[in-house]
Amino acid sequence: MKKVDYDISKLIEIEELGDERGLLTVIEGNKSIPFEINRIFYIYNTMTGIRRGFHAHYKTRQALICVSGNCKVYLDNTKRKTDVVLDSPTKVLILEPNDWHEMYDFSPDCVLLVLASHLYDSEDYIRDYDKFIEVYKNDTVF
Ligand code: T46
């Protein structure tokens, strides 16, 4: 596993295992990604031009992987903003709770797999941008 330096969040390149049958990539909680996995969901069949997300979290950490197709993720941690391209099943984007994120430019075949550190809790979402700034503006952990 090789870590790629990234200025706002962690983009990890996971090893691809392959043989004459094809390819296999493994992600293990607390090993290849820095948290225990308690929930898995995937986003697919996203309509053209749709942008999703528009939130940060209080405690949930997440790992995003495009297992098919590609999409982009806009990130804002109150100090820096950037865009990440997810275009390979071996690229894993780690989102910290203080990463405001928006997913966009989904290819028609995109399947975005998300591994989350916590079970679903609607109270864990910060969906108001001003509230996000207020909560994280003095945060020193990035
Ligand atoms: C995130 C990005 C990357 C549930 O009932 N349980 C779940 O575990 C999830 C993830 C969603 N839902 C419900 C809540 C909404 O009624 O599914 C509906 C769609 O969820 P949402 O509008 O939050 O979807 P996105 O694409 O904006 O965000 C999702 C995750 O919710 C979020 O945690 O970080 O993907």
- Please write the tens of the pLDDT for every residue from 18-65: 999 999 999 999 999 999 999 999 999 999 999 999 999 999 999 999
Q: Which of 44, 51, 55, 128 should be mutated for ligand 1, with most atoms under 8 A from CB?
A: 55
Structural domain span for residue 42: 10-136
* pLDDT, tens digit, 9 for 90 and up, residues 106-130: 999 999 999 999 999 999 999 999 9
CATH number, domain with residue 37: 2.60.120.10
In the numeric block, which tokens belong to residue 115? 């591994």
What pTM value is reported for the model? 0.94
Strands 125-126, 71-76: parallel, antiparallel or unpaired by DSSP? unpaired
| Number of structural domains the chain divides into | 1
Q: Is 118 a catalytic residue?
A: no
Does residue 30 sit within a domain?
yes
pLDDT of 9 > 80? The answer is no
Q: Looking at the domain assignment, is residue 123 inside a domain?
A: yes
4 part of a folded domain: no
- Ligand 1 atom at minimum distance from 122 CA: 14
Ligand 1 site, CB within 6 A: 39, 41, 43, 52-53, 62, 114, 120
Backbone angles phi, psi at 126, to 5 degrees: -110, 105
The tokens of 73 are what?
């993720």
Neighbouring C-beta atoms of residue 71, cutoff 10 Å: 21
Is the confidence at residue 5, as pLDDT, over 60?
no
How many angstroms separate the Cα of 30 from the Cα of each of 112, 115, 120?
21, 12, 19
Residue 2 falls inside a structural domain: no
141 within some domain: no
